[in-house]
Homo-oligomer: A and B are copies of this chain.
Amino acid sequence: MSLLVLGTVALDDIKTPSGMKRNMLGGSATHFSMSARLFAKVHLVAVIGKDFPRKELQFLRRKGIDLTSVVQAPGETFRWQGEYKKEDFNTALTLGTKLGVLEGYLPEVSAEQRGIPNVFLANIDPDVQMRLLDLIGKPRLIGLDSMNLWIRIKREPLMKLMKRVDLFVANDGEARALTGEQNLIKAAKKLRRFGPGLIVIKKGEHGVLFYSDKFAFSFPAYPVEAVVDPTGAGDTFAGGLMGYLTKAQKLDLASLKRAVLYATATASFNVENFGMAATAPLTLPAVNKRMRELVEFISC
């Protein structure tokens, strides 16, 4: 089964207590693809600059990701410089952002891709996300992620988007900012009223809360002792979630629980090394092994 993802492809400079790495392949859609590819055929919709390293394109292709709708535009690839402090690994400090080719980017997809039944709008400007929705048909399942910046400066387009998607993924800070509710159960209920039937609130090292009209559930995170770089953990999580739901082709309680567990498992790998160093070599058997450990760790 196929899964279309729109989002950013970036080159990241990241500093964490474990060290500093420059020019790493990053971006919301890239991290998403790196875990979603384990479960489904991923079609990436993104823009890169003229400076984008050829070897990274080859790398993505080797990972089985369809790059038909990755456009190379004049200008520089989107760059993000971030830091994580030892005291709070859950919060990324943005040291610098260079939009580059992201500015003015209008996504395009091939005629064939328009019919892909599963779509994820990874974190990028809500106007760009909306543009993609206008391009495509009526997918079976549309997922949406965003970030605090857009909640602050593009609330209205974001609220319009919420009405058109089935699944919304947010971290706890975003859920609180978007709803004004401190209590995450209340926040989840309010997000539900904004439109999406399926609400997933990620709480970083504290796990995840799922809410829908029919059922709610919660899982703790996989216990990672040595967090090296959390960049992209949320995107990796979303990739595991949407990837598994694409494969399962069902939205019943058992499939949703399994999808959230796969999301948790893939995200736990992501934080164990810089950039995609831990998720790039990942195989489904390795993820399944961790799934079994995770289930044992959290089963009651």
Contact = CB atoms under 8 A, between A and B. Distances in A.
Interface of A: 86-87, 89, 182-186, 203, 205-207, 209, 216-221, 223-227, 257, 261, 295-300
B182 A225 contact: no
Contacts of A300: 219, 257, 261, 295, 298-299
Contacts of A298: 217-219, 298, 300
Nearest to A203: B206
Contact of A219 (B184, B220, B225): B220
A290 to B, nearest CB: 13
A87 to B, nearest CB: 6
20 contacts: A86-B182, A87-B182, A89-B182, A184-B205, A185-B223, A185-B225, A186-B225, A203-B206, A207-B207, A207-B218, A209-B220, A216-B297, A217-B297, A218-B220, A218-B223, A218-B297, A218-B298, A219-B300, A257-B300, A298-B298
Contacts of A221: 218
A93 to B, nearest CB: 16
B297 A299 contact: no
Contacts of A224: 185
Nearest to A88: B182
Contacts of A203: 206
Contact of A225 (B183, B257, B296): B183
A223 B103 CA distance: 42
A142 B257 CA distance: 37
A192 to B, nearest CB: 13
A127 to B, nearest CB: 32
Nearest to A299: B300
Contacts of A209: 220, 223
A176 to B, nearest CB: 10
Nearest to A205: B184
B223 A220 contact: no
A173 to B, nearest CB: 12
A197 to B, nearest CB: 18
Contacts of A87: 182
A68 to B, nearest CB: 37
Contacts of A183: 225-227
Contacts of A207: 206-207, 218, 220
Contacts of A205: 184
A185 B297 CA distance: 13
Contacts of A296: 217
